[in-house]
Amino acid sequence: MSTVFVHGLGYVGLPTAAMFANYGHDVTGYDTDDAVVECLRGGGLHIEEPGLRAFVTQALESGKLTVAHEVDEAKYHVIAVPTPYDRGAGVPDLQYVRAAADAIAPHLRTGDTVVLESTVPPTTTVDVLRPVLERSGLSAGTDFALVYCPETVLPGNIITELKRNDRIVGGVNGVSTEAAVRLYESFVEGEIYTAADATTAEVVKLTQNTFRDVNIALANELALVSRDYGVDSRRVRELANVHPRVDVHHPGPGVGGHCLPVDPWFLGYDSDSLRLVPVARAVNDGMSDHVVELLEAELGSLAGRRIALLGVAYKRGVGDTRRSPALAVAAALRDAVEEERAAPTDGGAGSSGGGIDVRLHDPHVDDESLGLVDFDRAVADADAAVVVTGHEAFTDLDPERVRDAMAGSSVVDTRAVLSVPDWEAAGFTVRRI
């Protein structure tokens, strides 16, 4: 078994490092954040993901996985660092990819393989990674293998998908591709497909997430159209999907996470051909305003209202709040009240009514900076509750208990996880997207 060095111990890097270790490789995991290294060394875990604690513990206790503050030599270097996108500036931030390459270059030896797994704009492997690594004096494709092999794991099901999903491998040449295939074969149970080159594999990855984002936009738009015709969008979806070649996705309060809202922009980074994709992004981003409209339809003015937002994670069963629809809904609610106050009233000036009290609650999220409150505080005397994330804890809520705690009787269920008959029987008005 080979030595594998994993750069970046986040949602992808940490399970990947543990996977290689649990399949017999000698693995070193490295993170530039000392707190992450110390946390793991102390037996902690900085990520909420089902099954990950036991999986990482197994790797550490077997001695096959160690966690390091320093980069070192290894037969394989796997890069799984973040690639944020600055939408304002319209540029992908590749500083962590460059830093990983910088750190690897002095330790690169003839015969090594460098694999990039992070999601990146097309041509990053050859235009950004390759020149930095070649500062070692070695040439990609001849002296060392250089490959793009995108991760495809779904947060909430990472360990299973890491093992079972098919993989795409695209190297700068055939020798590179083969080197990476040999590495991933050691644990991947799915097919390993080879792409003609690294750029093809990069475009494939972005295509997968863009496909999903655009399809969710279609589901969201169909939900709005269904409402205009007074028909139940969920039933429309179910019946449309009986067709063997139709698979309408689920509408919701928007698209969050670190992948779907970002990757479509990566796809168009150096292409002038994107037309549909930006529109789909705008449809998905606009869903937070639609949630506000549903609340206004129930409550009229939002000024001075107390609103419980249930669910701050970007999707069910995870604790990740990156680009979460809940944060967009909270901001849209505050904006709506600002607009109300600025709008001229009969007397001429804007209204002086109160602001809005938005209470955020999520049993999966542990982030003090968000000012989360417990469930009882979120719903106490609330005028309305909005289910933004479809966590199981909300599906299991007792509507009578919630009714007794709240002042109002309005619920917006953006994920369609509540039993409408039960909530209506308890006296609630339930609105869905």
> Do 326 and 309 touch, CB atoms closer than 8 A?
yes
**Residue closer to ligand SAJ, measured from CB, 71 or 287:** 287
- Residue from 155, 138, 127 nearest 104 by CA: 138
Least separation in angstroms between CB 427 and ligand SAJ: 29
- Is residue 155 a contact residue for ligand SAJ (CB under 6 A)? yes
- Residue from 284, 307, 304 nearest 294 by CA: 307
Backbone angles phi, psi at 424, to 5 degrees: -65, -40
| Exposed e or buried b per residue across 268-291, where buried means at least 16 C-beta atoms within 10 angstroms of its C-beta | bbeeeebeebeebbebbbbbbebb
Sole window of 120-128, 192-200, 255-263, 379-387 interacting with ligand SAJ (rule: CB under 6 A): 255-263
- Choosing from 14, 65, 81, 153, the residue that interacts with ligand SAJ (CB under 6 A) is 153
d(CA 344, CA 370): 33
75 given a catalytic annotation: no
Q: What is the largest CA-CA distance in the chain?
A: 79
**Residue closer to ligand SAJ, measured from CB, 216 or 379:** 216
Give me the helix-helix angle, 276-285 and 198-228, nearest 10°: 50
Q: What angle do CA 169, 189, 40 make, to 5 degrees?
A: 85
- Choosing from 117, 151, 362, 413, the residue that interacts with ligand SAJ (CB under 6 A) is 151
- Is residue 83 a contact residue for ligand SAJ (CB under 6 A)? no
Window 117-146: residues binding ligand SAJ (CB under 6 A): 119
The strand ranges marked E within 38-117 are 65-68, 76-79, 85-86, 91-92, 113-116
- Is residue 255 a contact residue for ligand SAJ (CB under 6 A)? yes
How many residues sit close enough to ligand SAJ to count as binding (CB under 6 A)?
Answer: 22
List 64, 149, 205, 315, catalytic entry = 205
- Is residue 212 a contact residue for ligand SAJ (CB under 6 A)? yes
Sole window of 21-29, 64-72, 166-174, 257-265 interacting with ligand SAJ (rule: CB under 6 A): 257-265
- Kindly report the number of other CB atoms within 10 A of residue 259's CB atom: 24
- Residue from 123, 180, 102 nearest 147 by CA: 180
149 given a catalytic annotation: no
- Is residue 169 a contact residue for ligand SAJ (CB under 6 A)? no
d(CA 34, CA 38): 6
**Residue closer to ligand SAJ, measured from CB, 261 or 399:** 261
Q: What is the CA radius of gyration of the chain?
A: 24
Binding mask 218-247 for ligand SAJ (x = CB under 6 A): -x----------------------------
- Choosing from 53, 250, 334, 377, the residue that interacts with ligand SAJ (CB under 6 A) is 250
Sole window of 123-131, 232-240, 252-260, 272-280 interacting with ligand SAJ (rule: CB under 6 A): 252-260
The residues that are catalytic are 205, 259
Q: Where does this chain bind ligand SAJ (CB under 6 A)?
A: 119, 151-155, 208-209, 212, 216, 219, 249-250, 252, 255-257, 259-260, 314-315, 325
